[in-house]
């Protein structure tokens, strides 16, 4: 079963919602966050990335940052204002990006189930990032970031969603990136029907937000000791697996390890088929687009070894095994500063721009991982290669906040 619980959301007045809503804290750098929040005192980035309101030399994990986040949240409660719903509720959160649409259920989910592996993971987390968000939760007594879950499509869930969306939404606006965000509040019989429908689901899967979930689990150890029952749950939006959209997570490498472009191309050609030209974005699995010396090439990746684990059959792992490690000398992609990653929405034009600007020597565009791969790997208790999935569109921070004190 999957335990879904209503909660009293802290949320902005509808008139202020577009100004409050901000991109997730972890998809922008400090400089990008500062630029996005410029001229907007209501931006929720002032809570999630509070270093933007401190001197530039302030480190992102400095104690002053968390103190500033507390002050900024209190200021925002008055200025927006932020209001606390009068009764525990569930919320529908719809995202529209172009022709794509997905609607998820926002509530709180059990950290006991997370700890027992019933809410399944597919990604390793970094201790420093966990430390940061754990302290953020503890200092603010609030979970401000939303975990993105997915689940096997359920007729029972879909029926309630269809019915609940007929009422007037709390929020309905388009963000500056043209993604439309619509949220409905669900109470009473419909909320209970969703709770019952989730109880029948065999499992939930973390699609995006592993650090948020891990940090909520760690924060519970401190907050729970103070009798804060809400700290035993974490806020998330769960989307049916048939609606989520995974875009490519592309790679750029800063140098060729001392090789000339032609020497690198020759070395690669001795290992696998490389064809000049072809589409910038690969049309199928087992292929990658490669931008080198002003031209695109199509790289056909070697087949995975017989009996390989599902994670080892993914194109991003095959690229690492057969190109990045042996030909370019890239070891641990989590730590090697020669490699960087470009998330889906920026497209292949961003890869070309980086190479042409001299910020990378070669770029690889990847075919997107499928949701079936993620589910199969998580079911097997496996870990996906780093930077495998880029979910788009992104949820916005600040529209729904979970207070974790009683």
Q: For 201-234, what is each residue's pLDDT tens digit?
A: 999 999 999 999 999 999 998 887 665 678 899 9
CA–CA dist 327, 271 (Å, integer): 9
For residues 13 and 140, state if they share a domain: yes
Please report the pLDDT score of residue 346 as a whole number: 82
Residues 6 or more apart whose CB falls under 8 angstroms from that of 229 comprise 406
Q: Do residues 6 and 90 lie in contact, with contact meaning Cβ atoms separated by under 8 Å?
A: yes
- Structural domain of 22: 4-245+392-403
Q: Is residue 378 part of a domain?
A: no
Sheet holding 9-12, edge to edge: 82-84, 9-12, 401-403, 142-143
240, 266: one domain: no
pTM (2 d.p.): 0.94
Report the C-alpha gap between 184 and 85 in whole angstroms: 13
What distance in Å separates the CA atoms of residue 50 and residue 65, rounded to the nearest whole number?
6
Structure tokens at 382: 């496996």
Distance linking the first and last C-alpha atoms of the chain: 26
8 Å CB contact between 171 and 14: yes
pLDDT given for residue 363 in this prediction? 98
Separation of alpha carbons 2 and 240, rounded Å: 14
pLDDT in tens, 275-301: 998 799 999 999 999 999 999 999 999
Q: State residue 228's pLDDT score.
A: 62
- Residues linked to residue 362 through DSSP beta bridges, in sequence order: 253, 292
**Mind listing the pLDDT tens digit for each residue in 41-97?**
999 999 999 999 999 999 999 999 999 999 999 999 999 999 999 999 999 999 999
Q: How far apart are CA 232 and CA 252, in angstroms?
A: 40
Q: Do 21 and 124 reside in the same domain of the chain?
A: yes
Q: Are 34 and 58 part of one and the same domain?
A: yes
- Say yes or no: 114 and 259 in one domain: no
What SS3 state is found at 246? Answer: strand
**Separation CA 233–CA 106 (nearest Å):** 12
Residue 284 pLDDT? 94
Instruction: Give the number of domains in the chain.
Output: 2
Q: Point out which residues pair with 391 in neighbouring strands.
A: 246
Q: What is the pLDDT of residues 133-157, one digit of tens each?
A: 999 999 999 999 999 999 999 999 9
Mean pLDDT of 15-39: 96
CB–CB of 401/82 below 8 Å?
Answer: yes
- Of the candidates 402, 386, 336, the one whose C-alpha atom is nearest the C-alpha of residue 9 is 402
Are residues 286 and 298 located together in one domain of the fold? yes
Contacts of 340 (CB under 8 A, 6+ apart): 251, 252, 254, 360
Regarding whether 240 and 264 lie in a shared domain, the answer is no
Residues 219 and 304 in one domain: no
Give the rounded distance of the alpha carbon of 312 from its chain centre: 22
Using CA atoms of 289, 292, 294, 295 in order, give the dihedral in degrees to the nearest 10. -40
What is the residue-wise DSSP string for 71-133?
Answer: HHHHHHHHHTTEEE-SS-BEEEEEEEETTEEEEEEEEEEEHHHHHTTSEE------HHHHHHH
Q: Which of 109, 85, 82, 105 is nearest to 95 (CA)?
A: 105
Statement to judge: residues 284 and 396 lie in one domain = no
230, 153: one domain: yes
162 and 104 inside one domain: yes
Q: Is residue 342 domain-shared with residue 233, that is, in the same domain?
A: no
- Examine residue 76 and state whether it is found in any structural domain, yes or no: yes
Cα angle for residues 170, 173, 178 (degrees, 5° grid): 150
Any domain includes 355: yes
Q: Is residue 78 part of a domain?
A: yes
Q: Is residue 385 part of a domain?
A: no
Q: Does residue 129 belong to any structural domain of this protein? A: yes
Whether 336 maps to a domain, the answer reads yes
Percent of the chain with pLDDT over 90: 92
> Does residue 14 fall inside a structural domain?
yes
Q: At what angle do helices 155-164 and 188-199 cross, to 10 degrees?
A: 160
Q: Are 275 and 186 in contact (CB under 8 A)?
A: no
């Amino acid at each position: 079963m999957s335990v879904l619980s209503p909660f009293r959301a802290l949320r902005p007045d509808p008139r202020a919602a577009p100004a409050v809503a901000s991109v997730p804290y972890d998809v922008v750098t400090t400089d990008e966050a500062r630029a996005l929040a410029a001229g907007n005192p209501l931006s929720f980035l002032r809570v999630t990335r509070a270093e933007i309101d401190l001197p530039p030399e302030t480190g992102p994990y400095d104690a002053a940052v968390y103190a500033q986040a507390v002050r900024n949240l209190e200021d925002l409660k008055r200025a927006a204002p932020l209001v606390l719903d009068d009764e525990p509720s569930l919320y529908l959160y719809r995202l529209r990006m172009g022709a794509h649409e997905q609607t998820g259920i926002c509530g709180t989910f059990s950290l006991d189930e997370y700890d027992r592996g019933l809410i399944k993971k597919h990604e390793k987390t970094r201790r420093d990032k966990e430390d940061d968000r754990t302290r953020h939760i503890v200092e603010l007594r609030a979970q401000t970031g939303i975990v993105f879950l997915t689940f096997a499509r359920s007729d029972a869930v879909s029926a309630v969603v269809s019915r609940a969306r007929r009422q007037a939404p709390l929020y309905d606006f388009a963000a500056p990136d043209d993604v439309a965000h619509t949220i409905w509040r669900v109470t009473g019989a419909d909320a209970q029907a969703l709770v019952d429908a989730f109880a029948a689901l065999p499992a939930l899967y973390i699609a995006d937000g592993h650090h948020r979930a891990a940090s909520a689990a760690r924060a519970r150890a401190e907050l729970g000791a103070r009798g804060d029952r809400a700290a035993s749950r974490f806020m998330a939006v769960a989307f049916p697996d048939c609606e989520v959209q995974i875009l490519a997570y592309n790679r750029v490498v800063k140098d060729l390890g001392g090789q000339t472009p032609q020497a690198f191309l020759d070395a690669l050609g001795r290992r696998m088929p490389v064809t000049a030209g072809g589409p910038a974005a690969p049309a199928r699995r087992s292929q990658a687009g490669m931008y080198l010396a002003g031209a695109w090439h199509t790289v056909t990746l070697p087949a995975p070894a017989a009996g390989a684990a599902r994670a080892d059959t993914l194109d991003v792992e095959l690229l690492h095994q057969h190109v990045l490690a042996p030909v370019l000398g890239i070891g641990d992609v989590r730590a090697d500063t020669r490699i960087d990653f470009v998330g889906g929405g920026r497209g292949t034009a961003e890869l070309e721009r980086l190479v042409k600007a001299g910020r990378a020597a070669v770029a690889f565009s990847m075919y997107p991982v499928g949701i079936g791969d993620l589910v199969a790997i998580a079911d097997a208790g496996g870990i996906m290669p780093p930077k495998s999935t880029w979910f788009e569109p992104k949820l916005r921070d600040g529209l729904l906040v979970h207070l974790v004190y009683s």
